[in-house]
Structures are given as structure tokens and as C-alpha cells.
Amino acid sequence: MFRHLRNISFILLISSLGLQAQDRLSYGIKAGLNFSTITGEKESDTQGLVLEKGGFVTGFHVGAIFDIYILEDKFGVAPELLFSQKGGKYRYDGPGFLPIETTTGTLSTVGTRKDVISVVNSYINIPVMFYYKPLERLKVSAGFDLGFLIASSGNGETQFFWRDTNGENQVLTLEIDYNYYRDKAGEASSDDINTLTFNNNSSSIEYPTAIGAYFFESEKDGNFYNVFDLGLDLDVTVFVTKGISLGVRMNYGLLDVSNNNYDFSKVNPSISRSDSDKNLSFQAALAFNF
């Protein structure tokens, strides 16, 4: 009889703990916009003029959120599982080199180069936020964010300006259509060919209308962007109702997201730069808790 009573007491205790855990746990979904850039040291010329510029791109995030109360709905832990787009705009305008093969040989490729690229990197992110609620409808959070890159692309245009042997100004325009995961060394992104003639029509260049991420590389040395990222998060959330909230978040990356095997000076491609490029994102989200 006492054994049966112990078994019943144990079952009641487990059930009670389970109900308390349910009372301390909520879950939901969130979605919103990302405004992201990639920070890092910018290349300058010998006079100190900055040749590279960064900018923001717009993406989105969506996923599941969880809320584990620790102390009377004041403190807690809020892990999330998100699909999140980050990246940034990149511009270069200055002296540069570009390998150009013509029907009469290789041109001297010293000239001026202009690159405009918008990069979108898609991550599976796992933020773990620790929060405090100073007011019933206000929550402030801080935590860390693990990111795993699952897709990476870039779009834009490259232009190269030079003067040919007859003193004529020439321009080569290439559409950028990058898939940093799939593209191979020397690969174009289009089968369409354009032909540029110069030197009184004695020389010509055939080039694709769109190039891949490693078109100018003789061999591929890993992907341009690294798979793993780690960042810090700061978050402020306002509850419109008990189950609906609006939040803003800043995410700052701690790791270099780019592969230094491709990080060379555009002014002098023999110089390795090895800059530390980091993600920076600002997020606005609408969340529903159940």
C-alpha cells in the first residue's frame, strides 16, 4: 500500500512540475525586416583617398521564438530559430587591374575600375536572449547569436576603363551575377557574348555579359564568405497586447565573415589585405506569442 502511495505521489509531483514548466514557457512566431551592412577597413590610395565604400541592403527574417520565464515574469531566456538575410552594398572606384585577353594578345590592364555589388547572405540564426521586463509592456534583452550561412549571392556591375595603344579610351562593362557557393573558377553566369573592337578594329575582346563570383580566379580556394558567424544582440520589445509585440534589435558580428584567400588590394593585386569584415544588422520585427 505504501509503495502505491509513493508511486501516486511521484506521478503527482511530475505532473505538477510539468504544469509549472508549461506556465513558464510560451512560444510564437516573428517576422520582420533587416537593414544590414558588412563593416571593415576600406582601401585608400597613396593620397589617402578612400576607394571603397559600404552601404546597407534590405532583407527579411522569419522564424520561431520561445520565452522561458525565470522569476515572476521579470527575468527570462528567449531562444529563437530564424531564417535571416544579411549582407551589404560594396562600391569601389579607383585605379585597378583587370586581365583582358584580346585577339592580338594580352592588354596592359592598368586603368580605372568601378565595382557596385549588393551582397545577400542567408543564415540560419539561433539567437539566445536574456531579458528583463522593467514594465509589463516593455522588455529589454541582450544575448548572443549563432549563424550558419546557407546561401550567398551578389548582383551588380563592374566597369573597367583604360586607354589603348592608339590612345583611345575604352570601357569594358560586365554584369555581376554571383553565387558564392555554386560558381566555379573562370565561370561566367551567361552564355551570351559581347564583342568590343578597338585599335582601328585590329583587336577585339569577347566577354560574357554576366560573370560568376570567381570569373577572374585561376582556381577556387574555398567560398568567398565563411559558413559560421557569431554575434552580439541588443533588443527592445514593446507589447501592443499580451500576445502581440513590436521589437527592434541590433546585431553586431564578432567574426570575420569573408575568406581572406580572396582579400587582395585592387590597386595592386599582389598585396594581401586580410581585412576583418563583420556583419552589422538592424532589425524591426512583429511577433505573435501563443
* 206 pLDDT tier (thresholds 50, 70, 90): confident
What local confidence, expressed as pLDDT, does residue 105 receive? Answer: 66
Q: What percent of the chain is modeled with pLDDT above 70? A: 89
In-domain check, residue 14:
no
In-domain check, residue 1:
no
pLDDT at position 3 over 70: no
What local confidence, expressed as pLDDT, does residue 71 receive? Answer: 83
In-domain check, residue 158:
yes
Half-sphere exposure of 196 (CA within 13 A, CB side): 18
Residue type, 179: N
Query: Between the ranges 66-70, 84-88, 265-269, where is the mean pLDDT highest?
Result: 84-88
In-domain check, residue 112:
yes
Of residues 104 and 222, more confidently modeled: 222
In-domain check, residue 119:
yes
In-domain check, residue 12:
no
Instruction: Give the mean model confidence (pLDDT) for residues 41-59.
Output: 93
pLDDT in tens, 251-267: 999 999 999 999 988 88
In-domain check, residue 4:
no
In-domain check, residue 16:
no
What local confidence, expressed as pLDDT, does residue 256 receive? Answer: 97
CATH number at 202 reads: 2.40.160.20
Range of the domain at 193: 26-289
pLDDT in tens, 130-154: 999 999 899 999 999 999 999 999 9
Please give the tally of structural domains in the chain: 1
Instruction: Give the mean model confidence (pLDDT) for residues 62-80.
Output: 92
